[in-house]
Amino acid sequence: MEKLKIGGIKQSLELCQFDLRGVHSSEEITANVSKLLLSQKINMEFLTHYTHRNNYHQLTFCISQDKFSTTSEILKKEGSLPIGWEINSRGQVGIITIFPHQSAIKILGAIMVSWAAQSIPIYGIATSLSAISFVTDYQLIDKAIDVIQDLFQLPKDHAPLKPEIRYCQSDIVKGD
């Protein structure tokens, strides 16, 4: 059987993940959390929000692993979140993004089934017109990429993109 084609694979540096759940509007919570993180110059690398059928909302975001403690403290501080919002977090996650040419649903299903068979967890998924991103254990990211490379046909000159630097916010403005 011919392998499905994908345009490439990209992986993140080591991150941590926060899941916030509650009954208030996730848009309001997203704005508040964004402002809190901005005040500490913490970048979000991944952000999704979801409304459950029972009127609960969930906001999930990933940030650099080295900002885990600072972010935990900010979110647990009284008044940071509305009363009743639950905070769950996990450290040492990574994001793998693939770029499907077409057949995104087939590709998504194939990855989910193959990773489950290899005991590679999926903590989050986000899709767009050009990409599918998966949040998984950072320690298993190389194994997860190997599974993807075995499943799909990549361009001949492709190597998984691994970031070598992390961009951070700064107050310094450089002029010409």
DSSP state of 129: S
Q: Which CATH code for domain 4-13+92-153?
A: 3.30.70.260
Do 4-13+92-153 and 16-91 show the same overall fold? yes
- What pLDDT, on a 0 to 100 scale, did the predictor assign at position 155? 86
Domain ranges of the chain: 4-13+92-153, 16-91
- CATH class given for the domain over 16-91: alpha beta
Cβ neighbour number for residue 136 with a 10 Å cutoff? 20
- Give residue-wise pLDDT tens across range 77-104: 878 888 888 999 999 999 999 998 777 7
What does the alpha-carbon distance between residue 97 and residue 133 come to, in Å, rounded to a whole number?
A: 4
Residue 10: exposure state from Cβ atoms within 10 A (0-12, 13-18, ≥19): middle
Contact 12, 92 (CB under 8 A): no
Q: What is the mean pLDDT of residues 60-69?
A: 96
Residue 165 has φ and ψ, to the nearest 5°, of: -135, 160
